Structure 1
Amino acid sequence: MHLLSFALILPAILALPAPDEPTLISRAVSPPNGTCGLVLGGANQGNTCPGETACCSQYGYCGSSEQFCLTTGGCQARYSNSSSACHAPRSGVSISIDGTCGSTGVGKNGYRCPNNATIACCSAS
């Protein structure tokens, strides 16, 4: 190989990621209909949620409430706006997304009850 040919190829070789380095995949930001990911609403588009509705729900829609952002609710971190958008419930702080509350009986996630007229307290079970 000529020295000139090697000098032209070397920059391209150096630009390749190392075998153990993750490669970042560029994804489109969610369209106006607020869909994301690959499942259900996302319809195999693989869109990422925008900043104002940063979490991609298990159903493929962008939002910012706990129904969208809790890992226990299936938040899709890969299609959310940042790696910290999806988060675990905070005991006594996160509002229930599945009707359970507390951390005893069926309550496993420490959810608190919503403050509304129909549900105001967490039962002992």
Structure 2
Amino acid sequence: MLPQLATLLLLPLGALAAAVVPLTPRAVSPDMTCGSANSRYTCPSEAKCCSKYGYCGTTEDFCLTTAGCQTAYSNTTSACQPPKSGVSLSIDGTCGSTGAGKNGYRCPGNATVTSCCSAS
């Protein structure tokens, strides 16, 4: 315990402040905004994920870690999730897990539009 305390005392004040978890919960967003750019609001339970742009939502555009989901401002620490290979829809135009595809995204498609993943 003593070595850890000595290490904390040697940290610059800014690093020490970042290492300390706030004791008071953040206010829940009244208008679906969240994050450090929006009064540090936390998302409500019905829109659990805070996007990198500071808005609350539930789709992969909000909740994928690769899309920039902000864990600190989402409703729970488990709200932000990594993409599921072959399941998560592409959010950046890449697909698969080779070539440009690093996250295993699948291509979007519906009854009127079909798409597939190229070899690269």
TM-score, normalised to structure 2, is: 0.78
Structure 1 counterpart of 2:44, which letter? P
Max Rg structure: 1
2:43 to 41, 46, 49: 49
Instruction: Please state whether the residue corresponding to 2:34 is helix, strand or coil.
Output: coil
Q: Go from structure 1 to structure 2 and tell me whether the alpha carbon gap of 1:30 and 1:23 turns closer, same or farther (over 3 Å shift).
A: closer
In the alignment, which residue of structure 2 is the partner of 1:14? none
How many residue pairs end up in the alignment?
101
1:25-48 Cα shifts (integer Å, max 9, x gaps): 32110113x100113xx2xx0000
- What residue number does 1:27 align with? 26
Unaligned runs of 5+ in 2: 1-18
Gaps of 5+ in 1: 1-19
Q: Does 1:71 align with 2:65?
A: yes
**TM-score, structure 1 as length reference:** 0.75
CA RMSD of superposed structures (Å): 1.6
Give SS of 1:67's match.
helix
The share of aligned pairs that are identical, in percent, is 64
2:100 matched residue in structure 1: 106
* Structure 2 counterpart SS, 1:114: coil
Distance 1:96 1:51 in 2: 25
